[in-house]
């Protein structure tokens, strides 16, 4: 059997604007705090997974700040799944028997970056000539649709509305209302202010059916986790064993070919595949979860992922939400942190930050937003391209 993997220490910096800190400042803060939480130092760490999307490969530079020990560094760039992929690298190293301790870090500086739309329509020549591997297909952005994030998830929301008219503007606003309400209990969230339905619907329109407050908040932040093998964990003091959180499933999946997904990213199939594999690996079903942190980059994304993650019966996402199940006081709390819409979305940090939120509840250390009795949780991210990362975590039985 391969080695079981546990989270021994984990940390998330406050998300928001950090004008006085650069990427390495934030990454160092998260890494050092996670190691302190785990009661280890860089002398113990045997592999580093460093995730950063916008700033390139700086895992070695991070080591110059926190300790150069000559260990292997995996610099990871995998869209919004970057942090989850860095964590996965550490999990694989421990399962392979190549390390007892691994450190995973995700960090980004994104405050003021806007929505990262990437619209290319204005740059197209009047006459287009196919050229090269990538240029053999005409860019479609702005001509028959968009690959910009706001536009793409607007299409996803409108497609859902086409299949069920109840998925209207107000429903998406109500999903955002939940997230903003949850954020008021999270001191690390970029925005900690409740918003009324009227405020959300009256906010500036970004791409219908999403107003500004239904979109993820790009910001600065970092998160880090120390992983440990079960063999090593059992040699540590009992209190560390009690606070450790088991990684019962660690899955990274990419989207298989489906009709149309060369034009429009298929966030549904890849998430379904990743979550099904995670449940099988963990030996549980979605009914066993006590909470979930999912990738709500836009309100429409949260709605479709209720179904994709199996949190509700197929096609039943609207009724599921309308029961109040996804609120903090409901039977299946979703994004108790405030989600990407309120907690914030420093891209590479998000995958580990979602794990941090779940782990904090399983440890019983989430303060006023604590989900009482939480024993099992799921953390999910999507990186368009497309990649889905799903981690299932379980509380220590000690």
Among 342, 335, 294, 353, smallest CA distance to 108 is for 353
Q: Give the residue carrying structure tokens 């379904």.
A: 272
Look at residue 126 and tell me if it is in a domain.
Answer: no
Look at residue 154 and tell me if it is in a domain.
Answer: no
Least confident of 33-47, 238-252, 254-268: 254-268
Please answer whether residues 82 and 347 qualify as being in contact, where contact means their C-beta atoms are separated by less than 8 angstroms.
Answer: yes
- The 8-class DSSP code of residue 378 comes to E
pLDDT tens string 298-336: 999 999 999 999 999 999 999 999 999 999 999 999 999
pLDDT attached to residue 123 = 55
21 in the Ramachandran plot: left (φ > 0), alpha (ψ -120 to 50) or beta? beta
Look at residue 98 and tell me if it is in a domain.
Answer: yes
Look at residue 99 and tell me if it is in a domain.
Answer: yes
Question: What is the pTM assigned to this prediction?
Answer: 0.94
pLDDT attached to residue 152 = 86
Look at residue 296 and tell me if it is in a domain.
Answer: yes
Look at residue 389 and tell me if it is in a domain.
Answer: yes
Instruction: Look at the chain and report how many structural domains it folds into.
Output: 1
Average pLDDT of the segment spanning 51-70:
91
Look at residue 191 and tell me if it is in a domain.
Answer: no
Residue range of the domain that includes 368: 5-112+218-395
pLDDT attached to residue 120 = 44
pLDDT tens string 383-398: 988 899 999 999 998 7
pLDDT attached to residue 143 = 63
Please answer whether residues 82 and 52 qualify as being in contact, where contact means their C-beta atoms are separated by less than 8 angstroms.
Answer: yes
Look at residue 381 and tell me if it is in a domain.
Answer: yes
CATH code assigned at 315: 3.40.47.10
Contacts of 280 (CB under 8 A, 6+ apart): none
């Amino acid at each position: 059997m391969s080695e079981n993997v546990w989270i021994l220490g984990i940390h998330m910096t406050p998300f928001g604007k950090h004008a006085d800190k650069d990427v390495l400042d934030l990454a160092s803060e998260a890494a050092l705090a996670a190691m302190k939480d785990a009661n280890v130092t860089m002398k113990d760490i045997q592999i580093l997974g460093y995730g950063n999307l916008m700033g390139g490969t700086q895992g070695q530079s991070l080591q110059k700040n926190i300790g150069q020990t000559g260990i292997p560094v995996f610099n990871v760039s995998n869209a919004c799944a970057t942090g989850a992929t860095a964590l996965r690298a550490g999990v694989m190293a421990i399962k392979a028997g190549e390390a007892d301790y691994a450190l995973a870090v995700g960090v980004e500086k994104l405050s003021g970056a806007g929505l990262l739309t990437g619209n290319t329509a204005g740059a197209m020549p009047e006459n287009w000539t196919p050229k090269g591997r990538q240029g053999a297909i005409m860019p479609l952005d702005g001509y028959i649709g968009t690959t910009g994030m706001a536009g793409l998830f607007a299409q996803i929301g409108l497609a859902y509305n086409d299949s069920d008219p109840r998925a209207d503007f107000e429903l998406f606003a109500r999903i955002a209302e939940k997230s903003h309400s949850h954020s008021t209990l999270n001191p690390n969230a970029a925005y900690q202010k409740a918003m009324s339905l009227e405020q959300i619907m009256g906010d500036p329109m970004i791409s219908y059916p999403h107003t500004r407050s239904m979109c993820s908040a790009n910001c600065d932040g970092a998160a880090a986790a120390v992983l440990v093998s079960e063999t090593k964990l059992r040699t540590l003091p009992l209190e560390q064993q009690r606070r450790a959180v088991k990684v019962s499933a660690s899955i990274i999946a990419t989207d298989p070919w489906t009709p149309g997904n060369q034009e429009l990213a298929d966030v549904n199939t890849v998430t379904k595949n990743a979550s099904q594999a995670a449940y099988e690996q963990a030996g549980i079903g979605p009914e066993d979860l006590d909470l979930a942190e999912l990738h709500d980059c836009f309100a429409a994304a949260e709605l479709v992922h209720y179904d994709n993650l199996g949190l509700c019966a197929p096609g039943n996402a609207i009724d599921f939400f309308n029961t109040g199940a996804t609120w903090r006081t409901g039977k299946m709390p979703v994004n108790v942190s405030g989600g990407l819409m309120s907690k914030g979305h420093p891209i590479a940090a998000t995958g580990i930050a979602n794990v941090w939120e779940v782990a904090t509840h399983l440890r019983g250390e989430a303060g006023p937003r604590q989900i009482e009795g939480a024993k099992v949780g799921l953390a999910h991210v999507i990186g368009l391209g497309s990649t889905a990362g799903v981690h299932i975590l379980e509380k220590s039985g000690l």
